[in-house]
Amino acid sequence: MHHMADGFEKYGFPDGKRYNSFVGYFKRKYGERLQKIVLDAGFTCPNRDGNVGRGGCTYCDNAAFHPSYSTAGKSLHQQMDEGIEFHKVRYRTTEHYLAYFQSFSNTYAPLERLKALYEEALSHPDVVGIVIGTRPDCVDEEKLDYIAELAKKHVVIVEYGIESCYDRTLGRINRGHDFETARRAVEMTAQRGIDVGAHFILGLPGETKQMMLDSCALINALPIRSVKFHQLQIVKGTRMEKEYAECPEDFERFSLDEYLDFFTDMLERLRPDLFIERFVGEVPPRFVNETPWGLIRNVELLRLLEKRLEERDTWQGRLL
């Protein structure tokens, strides 16, 4: 076995893994585990309120994507207290938290409102930083200058929903921005020394496996530190549900086994210093018509991915 180990061990992936896992990143960087508390600060999106478009992205029902304890209408401090209570049960050793502005587009407001919200979150005694989930078309120089100031004193990550590298796909899912907008936003953010994360969906309509694999080169070229991938889940009541019923042949659907293999192919093409924050999405079963993989937890999926990488004796970045 030993000669095989030489391959990936030189990358020094965390915990002897074959990919660059984000779990433990905060622990290595800040000396402690930081847990994210998801907040709903009552934002909307420009492609919902008519500014860019209406009806939002075709795959989106935001309620399916965030936990029950975060609901708009509760104050941020109340949401944080409840989120901390919720997580204390699971992670007794966590002392500090990150406020995760996740629902909708969390820079989509005038700068004064953003300052008030971010500073309210950061004033919580147990919160040491913020993660800001947003769209590439909802930032500008002034907002990023302010976020860069915050990043000098706190842990700050800006996470962009990019979803696809292909403009044809972005148009089809009513995303309301192109890939160039995403590239520019990521570059403007990274230039200011702010950590950038990006989110992509695998299996959007019209994209073949080859197109998704080819997008790795575009992703590698972005100055991002971490990345999240989700398999497409067809959420009830969305426009995509209708589209899938009408043209299922336009969708690349994966069995669990196929997805593990396909994601391994993706990993081989992703640069080894890119942190993989997640590779699979979980939507509560009530939001979907089918759960083809059964009810399988994220930690089990990570174990299966690790096993697949071992079976294929491969690792993140091997083909670069």
The band of 18, judged by pLDDT with boundaries at 50, 70 and 90, is very high
pLDDT of residue 66: 61
What is this structure's pTM? Answer: 0.92
pLDDT of 223 > 90? The answer is yes
pLDDT of residue 6: 61
**pLDDT tens, position by position, 199-222:** 999 999 999 999 999 999 999 999
**pLDDT tens, position by position, 164-186:** 999 999 999 999 999 999 999 99
pLDDT of 70 > 50? The answer is yes
Strand order in the sheet with 34-39: 34-39, 96-101, 127-134, 155-163, 195-202, 226-231, 275-278
Mean pLDDT of 45-74: 74
Mean pLDDT of 250-265: 96
pLDDT of residue 294: 81
User: Percent of the chain scored above 70 by pLDDT?
Assistant: 94
**For residues 207 and 232, is the Cβ–Cβ distance under 8 A?**
no
If you average pLDDT over every residue of the chain, what do you get? Answer: 90
Mean pLDDT of 242-247: 95
pLDDT of residue 69: 58
Mean pLDDT of 109-136: 95
Kindly list the distances between the CA atom of residue 124 and the CA atoms of 96, 131, 195, 196, in Å, as whole numbers in the listed order: 10, 15, 22, 23
Mean pLDDT of 235-245: 92
Distance CA 29, CA 69 (A): 28
pLDDT of residue 72: 61
pLDDT of 65 > 70? The answer is no
pLDDT of 275 > 60? The answer is yes
User: Percent of the chain scored above 90 by pLDDT?
Assistant: 64
pLDDT of residue 2: 45
List, in order, residues 6 or more apart from 49 with CB less than 8 Å away: none
The band of 62, judged by pLDDT with boundaries at 50, 70 and 90, is low
pLDDT of 93 > 90? The answer is no
Mean pLDDT of 82-107: 85
Mean pLDDT of 257-285: 94
pLDDT of 1 > 60? The answer is no
More confident residue, 240 or 67: 240
Domains of the chain listed by start with CATH number? 21-311 (3.20.20.70)
β-pairing, 226-231 with 127-134? unpaired
Mean pLDDT of 126-152: 96
pLDDT of residue 68: 61
**pLDDT tens, position by position, 48-59:** 888 888 888 888
pLDDT of 5 > 60? The answer is no
Mean pLDDT of 244-248: 95
Distance CA 232, CA 210 (A): 16
